[in-house]
């Protein structure tokens, strides 16, 4: 406690338990498309609402098609965000398009909303010559400088302290922008999480920490990860604003993130938002969730599908119809399939590009290593058919 904090004295030992405080969950929209009595609704116009829904549908279709492609052996790896689209799209919709997003690996919905094209998705997934990362990353590690979406890193939670640092730079620049760090509740068990929150609170940075609490850190349920009341109360220990929201409720997510951004940008203070949702799909294409959760549990959450909830709300407002919905899904499925077929035909990046984009001028040791690699490929061309055919031997 700092010396200038107002002291409240007691004269007998009084211990406080963390489980005495339970953070409420902000809910607006029911599954049937109606709203809770007395709920605070966001100011969401028709055009924005339809843009959000279309992004949610495209994300769902992309995930379904690309998991199928992985199962067919056309793609090495994939991760779905099925069941979490209200969170992953809704948070992005509440931001300024120039706010920085530092995501984990299940936020493709935010990229869809900001305008990342299917072609750009496919180029990264297939690591072809048009991939912005030039084939250096495994699939689903997207990034876009023009869309202010930091390239995803595999190590868990590294983006959280980076978001604090980036937001501190935004504060110093005075550009009235914020940075959003998105992560799962499993990543909140990493030390990086605590270091980031403490630094953000001390430096008063415009950072929004968005935790997608989907109940599982791969196969570890939340009940085995922590004993407290989720992630939201942790922010109180660092003296920051916090809110828990129904992550399947698009209106609640949009409203909470709109307010969080206002606090971050106008007051230069960090905010933690905990979105309660559920990962309907497996953790990744390498995971089998039947080993750690029941079909009954999954079915309970399928009945809370965020796409259906928003569709019902749109229909109740006469902004959408079943025919429009069916046409949208069909059009997206055709476009995803056609774009995938084109992207997987494109050649891999040339081997010379392995050492570009790190240094302005590649240093001698990297050039030497590249020449050694090329010599190795020339010795065994049958083992590297894609690479040897794209190698500059000059």
* Positive or negative: CA dihedral 196, 242, 218, 281: negative
Residue 317: how many other CB atoms lie within 10 Å:
12
Residue among 92, 130, 117 at smallest CA distance from 336: 117
Residue among 91, 85, 84 at smallest CA distance from 277: 84
Q: Which of 241, 244, 261, 283 is catalytic?
A: 283
Contact 304, 276 (CB under 8 A): no
Residue 83: how many other CB atoms lie within 10 Å:
24
What is the C-alpha to C-alpha distance for residues 83 and 282, in angstroms, rounded to an integer? 11
Q: Which of 65, 244, 279, 309 is catalytic?
A: 279
What is the C-alpha to C-alpha distance for residues 293 and 297, in angstroms, rounded to an integer? 7
Half-sphere exposure of 317 (CA within 13 A, CB side): 16
**Rg of the chain taking only CA atoms, in angstroms:** 23
Contact 153, 164 (CB under 8 A): no
234 is catalytic: no
Phi-psi region of 66 (alpha: psi -120 to 50; beta: other; left: phi over 0): alpha
Q: Which of 292, 334, 376, 378 is catalytic?
A: 292
What is the C-alpha to C-alpha distance for residues 132 and 357, in angstroms, rounded to an integer? 11
292 is catalytic: yes
What is the C-alpha to C-alpha distance for residues 81 and 60, in angstroms, rounded to an integer? 8
Residue among 368, 318, 332 at smallest CA distance from 46: 318
Q: Which residues are identified as catalytic?
A: 279, 283, 292
């Amino acid at each position: 406690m700092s010396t200038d904090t107002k002291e409240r004295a007691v004269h007998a030992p009084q211990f406080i338990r963390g489980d005495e405080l339970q953070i409420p969950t902000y809910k607006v929209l029911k599954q049937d498309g109606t709203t809770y009595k007395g709920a605070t609704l966001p100011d969401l116009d028709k055009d924005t609402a339809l843009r959000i829904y279309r992004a949610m549908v495209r994300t769902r279709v992309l995930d379904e098609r690309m998991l199928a492609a992985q199962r067919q052996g056309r793609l090495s790896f994939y991760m779905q965000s099925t069941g979490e689209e209200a969170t992953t799209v809704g948070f992005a919709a509440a931001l300024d398009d120039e706010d920085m997003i530092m995501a984990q690996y299940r936020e493709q919905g935010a990229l869809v909303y900001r305008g990342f094209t299917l072609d750009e998705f496919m180029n990264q997934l297939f690591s072809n010559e048009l991939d912005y990362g030039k084939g250096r990353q495994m699939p689903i590690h997207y990034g876009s400088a023009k869309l202010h979406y930091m390239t995803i890193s595999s190590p868990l939670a590294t983006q959280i302290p980076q978001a604090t640092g980036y937001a501190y730079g935004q504060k110093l620049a005075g550009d009235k922008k914020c940075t959003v760090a998105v992560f799962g509740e499993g990543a909140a068990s990493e030390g990086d999480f605590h270091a980031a929150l403490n630094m953000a609170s001390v430096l008063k940075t415009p950072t929004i920490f968005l935790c997608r609490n989907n109940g599982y850190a791969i196969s570890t349920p939340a009940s085995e990860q922590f004993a407290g009341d989720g992630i939201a109360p942790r922010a109180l220990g660092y003296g920051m604003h916090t809110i828990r929201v129904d992550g399947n409720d698009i209106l609640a997510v949009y409203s909470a993130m709109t307010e969080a951004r206002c606090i971050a940008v106008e007051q230069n203070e960090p905010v933690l938002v905990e979105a309660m949702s559920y990962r309907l799909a497996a953790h990744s294409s390498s995971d089998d969730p039947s080993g750690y959760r029941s079909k009954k549990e999954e079915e309970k959450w399928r009945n809370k599908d965020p796409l259906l909830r928003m569709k019902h709300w749109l229909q109740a407002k006469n902004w959408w119809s079943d025919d429009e919905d069916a046409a949208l899904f069909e059009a997206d499925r055709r476009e995803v399939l056609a774009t995938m077929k084109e992207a997987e035909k494109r050649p891999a990046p040339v081997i010379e590009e392995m050492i570009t984009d790190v240094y302005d001028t590649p240093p001698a040791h990297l050039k030497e290593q590249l020449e050694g690699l090329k010599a190795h490929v020339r010795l065994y061309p049958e083992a590297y058919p894609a690479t040897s055919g794209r190698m500059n031997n000059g």
